[in-house]
């Protein structure tokens, strides 16, 4: 009897990931084809010479929906389109004929002259809109393409720009808002931020990355730049033999596939920090996955390689030398938002001011510039927490300054939730959003703080509340004590309404919790937007009643049974 065998099929070859060093540079999707056909930086000339002259209808669609981002421009959402249409309409159907323009502010450092120019641009060209982002930028809305060259001229006349504020490029460099002024600073990152910006921002060698690339650098012990969710981060540390320098982190990012960054376990000196940035960024450019956009962030490459391989490739292929090893540094002991009044190392003071979830205006920014100068201050900083720091104030002026800032809606001593509340742009202007965020959060925070007014002594010293309009997590919902991710939900009456998926107990640079961790989700736990205050009041009071002595909200939320979180 003859026995037959089933033929063995040859193993299907794996599809290429679009890694330039492995698969070659041939584009494998439409976005890569667009970038290969013309560098995004080149669109500026067309904006100035063609589109600003002939108006919105003259814009090439490939530039409009692609390369404009390399200069900080996105079409904003057309007014009146409900969240239910976000996933069903095309970008062309969702977009308005106006733009969001993102002003890039590396390290968050501004002069009052620069702030006044931003304020005047907002008033004249952006219907008095201005939002402080959680990446230290300022975003303007209602910008007409015909006004963009004049806006650029004014920004650049005071040393500001929008270069690579969006797109598949090195985005704004987050920097410690107290760089160079903090009494307890380990190392001042200002020279590193300036050198990276000078050498690499607007450099065609790094203007075609697989996707966005985020950098954060701080020399402050409070680790105040949310480093765990950036692609590249340097955090101040003291080497036992080499002195102050940086601890290198790579591969962090949130969106719909959150992953915290990891230490490579290497020590980086001030002098070599820009070279190390170039090495890590070059790894992303050369080895990053380009075929699938949803796997094109550095975090996916790190997940596949691991830190040991990543370090070896960095040292052997890109630096040509080994970096010294170093153990982890101490955890922060205070929150990194710098709210309130603090003494600088030169004896003057800085004041951390909180607007409502980053929402300001050109009028308000101009008035703040005037207020600062009237108190002898000419410097300020934006922060990764949608705040503003006013620098260089004399102690005798603090009380008057704080009162006048409060009159502008900028609070030095905000309540528990207002201090930590962050909201993304939301459905008001964003084409990806499903629900309103800014007004929903502002109203909810006021209501919740009023309800919890008699409960203050039973609450933690920090409690973060972040609200996002879609799954992309621009407002970092997975890293908040109370994170709310916008979606449409069905209420008890069977109606589709604005609501949120809930994330609980997330934390970064956990001064209360030790290691950073992503928030916990409870299956089926969703909250209607208009019932947000009810939910927060309920869960916070459950925490107050059931937490162990000294237990943080994040630790409690990860520990308890789900019933206490509903």
| pLDDT digits 0-9 by tens, 409-419 | 999 999 989 99
Secondary structure class of 419 (helix, strand, coil): helix
Cα radius of gyration (the chain): 24
State how far the Cα of 448 lies from the Cα of 44, in Å rounded to an integer.
46
292 conformational bin, left if phi > 0, alpha if psi -120 to 50, beta if neither: beta
State how far the Cα of 362 lies from the Cα of 129, in Å rounded to an integer.
6
| pLDDT digits 0-9 by tens, 515-556 | 788 999 998 899 999 999 999 999 999 999 999 988 989 999
Residue with tokens 């966005």, as numbered in its chain? 212
Does 10 have pLDDT greater than 70?
no
How many residues can be counted in the chain? 566
Q: What pLDDT does residue 236 have?
A: 98
Scored b (16 or more CB within 10 A) or e, 389-413 reads bbbbbeeebbeebbebbeebebbbe
Contact 112, 377 (CB under 8 A): yes
| Residues whose CB falls within 8 Å of the CB of residue 240, separated by 6 or more in sequence, listed in order | none
| pLDDT digits 0-9 by tens, 214-224 | 999 999 999 99
pTM, entire model: 0.96
Strand order in the sheet with 340-343: 109-111, 379-382, 388-393, 349-353, 340-343
End-to-end, the C-alpha distance of the chain in Å comes to 68
Distances (CA, A) of 72 to 100, 112, 153, 376, 472: 8, 22, 15, 33, 19
State how far the Cα of 48 lies from the Cα of 156, in Å rounded to an integer.
15
Topology classification of domain 419-564: Sulfite Reductase Hemoprotein; domain 1 (3.30.413)
| pLDDT digits 0-9 by tens, 466-522 | 999 999 999 999 999 999 999 999 998 899 999 999 999 999 876 555 578 899 999
Which runs of E-coded beta strand occur in 415-513?
Answer: 422-423, 465-468, 482-490, 496-504
State how far the Cα of 113 lies from the Cα of 472, in Å rounded to an integer.
34
Residue with tokens 């962090």, as numbered in its chain? 252
Domain 30-318 has CATH 3.30.413.10: yes
Alpha helices in 271-415 (DSSP H): 273-287, 298-313, 362-374, 398-407
Domain boundaries for CATH 3.30.413.10 within the chain: 30-318, 419-564
The 3-state secondary structure of 302-326 reads: HHHHHHHHHHHHHHHHHHCCCCCEC
Does 4 have pLDDT greater than 60?
no
Q: What pLDDT does residue 512 have?
A: 58
The angle subtended at Cα 248 by Cα 242 and Cα 253, nearest 5°, is: 165
| pLDDT digits 0-9 by tens, 43-90 | 999 999 999 999 999 999 999 999 999 999 999 999 999 999 999 999
Beta carbons within 10 angstroms of residue 190's beta carbon: 17
Q: What pLDDT does residue 2 have?
A: 47
Contact 235, 451 (CB under 8 A): no
State how far the Cα of 517 lies from the Cα of 480, in Å rounded to an integer.
10
Angle between helices 438-451 and 532-546 (to 10 degrees): 40
Contact 462, 420 (CB under 8 A): yes
Contact 226, 208 (CB under 8 A): no
């Amino acid at each position: 009897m003859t026995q037959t065998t089933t033929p063995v099929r040859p193993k299907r070859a794996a599809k290429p990931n679009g890694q330039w060093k492995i698969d070659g540079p041939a584009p494998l999707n439409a976005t890569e084809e667009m970038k290969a056909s013309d560098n995004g930086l080149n669109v500026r000339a067309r904006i100035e010479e063609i589109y600003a002259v002939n108006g919105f209808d003259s814009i090439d669609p490939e530039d409009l929906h692609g390369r404009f981002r390399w200069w900080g421009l996105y079409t904003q959402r057309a007014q009146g389109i409900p969240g239910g249409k976000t996933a069903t309409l095309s970008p062309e159907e969702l977009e308005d004929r106006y733009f969001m323009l993102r002003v890039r502010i590396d390290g968050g450092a501004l002069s009052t002259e620069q702030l006044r120019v931003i304020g005047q641009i907002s008033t004249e060209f952006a219907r008095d809109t201005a939002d402080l982002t959680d990446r230290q930028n300022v975003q303007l809305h209602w910008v007409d393409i015909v006004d963009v060259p004049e806006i650029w001229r004014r920004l650049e006349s005071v040393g500001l720009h929008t270069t690579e504020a969006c797109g598949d490029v090195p985005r704004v460099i987050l920097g410690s808002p107290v760089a160079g002024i903090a009494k307890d600073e380990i190392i001042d990152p200002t020279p590193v931020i300036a050198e990276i910006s000078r050498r690499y921002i607007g450099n065609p060698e790094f203007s075609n990355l697989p996707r966005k690339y985020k950098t954060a650098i701080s020399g402050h012990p409070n680790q105040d730049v949310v480093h765990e969710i950036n692609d590249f981060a340097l955090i101040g540390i003291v080497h036992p033999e080499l002195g102050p320098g940086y601890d290198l982190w790579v591969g962090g990012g949130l969106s719909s596939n959150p992953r915290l960054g990891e230490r490579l376990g290497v020590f980086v000196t001030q002098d070599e920090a820009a070279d190390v940035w170039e090495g890590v960024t070059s790894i992303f450019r050369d080895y990053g996955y380009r075929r699938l956009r949803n796997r094109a962030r550095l975090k996916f490459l790190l997940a596949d390689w691991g830190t040991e391989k990543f370090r070896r490739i960095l040292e052997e292929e890109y630096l040509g030398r080994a970096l010294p090893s170093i153990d982890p540094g101490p955890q922060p002991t205070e929150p990194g938002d710098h709210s309130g009044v603090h003494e600088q190392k030169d004896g003057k003071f800085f004041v951390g001011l909180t607007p409502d979830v980053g929402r300001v205006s050109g009028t308000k920014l101009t008035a703040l510039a005037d207020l600062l100068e009237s108190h002898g201050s000419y410097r300020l900083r934006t922060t990764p927490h949608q705040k503003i720091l006013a620098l260089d104030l004399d102690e005798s002026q603090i009380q008057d300054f704080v009162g006048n800032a409060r009159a502008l809606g900028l609070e030095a001593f905000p309540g528990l939730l207002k201090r930590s509340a962050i909201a993304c742009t939301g459905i008001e202007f964003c084409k990806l959003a499903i629900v309103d965020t800014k007004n929903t959060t502002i109203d909810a925070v006021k209501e919740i703080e009023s309800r919890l007014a008699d409960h203050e002594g039973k609450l933690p010293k920090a409690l973060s509340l972040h609200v996002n309009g879609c799954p992309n997590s621009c407002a970092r919902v997975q890293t908040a004590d109370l994170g709310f991710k916008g979606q449409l939900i069905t209420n008890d009456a069977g109606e589709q309404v604005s609501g949120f998926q809930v994330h609980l107990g997330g934390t970064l640079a956990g001064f209360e919790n030790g290691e950073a961790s992503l928030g916990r989700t409870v299956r089926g736990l969703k909250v209607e937007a208009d019932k947000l205050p009810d939910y927060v009041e309920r869960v916070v009071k459950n925490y107050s009643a059931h937490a162990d002595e000294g237990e943080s909200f994040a630790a409690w939320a990860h520990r308890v049974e789900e019933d206490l979180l509903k």
